Structure 1
Amino acid sequence: LYPDPVKVAKQFKYADKRGIPFVILIGADELREGQFTVKDMKSGHQQTYAMEDWEAFATRLNS
């Protein structure tokens, strides 16, 4: 959780400097659609999941 409301690019830089492997994005659009987006900080790949499918993401982390 980033401590201050700043631009997303600054938040990504913060996560990258700390070696955080994945960032979960939940903004107004995601909330409206019932989704969350996961960004792989190493590859830059992003994938969107339905809120009820959080287990699919958790399983991916454990594999």
Structure 2
Amino acid sequence: MDTRNHEHYKDKTAHDAIKAADKPPDSVTRTINAMKAVAAIDEFEVFGRIKLRDKKTGKIYR
């Protein structure tokens, strides 16, 4: 993502805020890492996009 605003000045605060908002929850990151670790046990590799849906909220994480 570009760190410049619409006037082409650097705007690190806005850049950092948008980046933090786009970050998935820690539980999603842990789940994906666990899936990769389980696959690695039998010498498999997870590739491509893993999509998860939160059963409570219905939100999809890609």
- With normalisation by structure 1, the TM-score equals 0.27
Larger strand percent? 1
Q: Which has the larger radius of gyration?
A: 2
Flag the structure with more relative contact order, 1 or 2, with Cα contacts below 8 A and sequence separation at least 6. Answer: 1
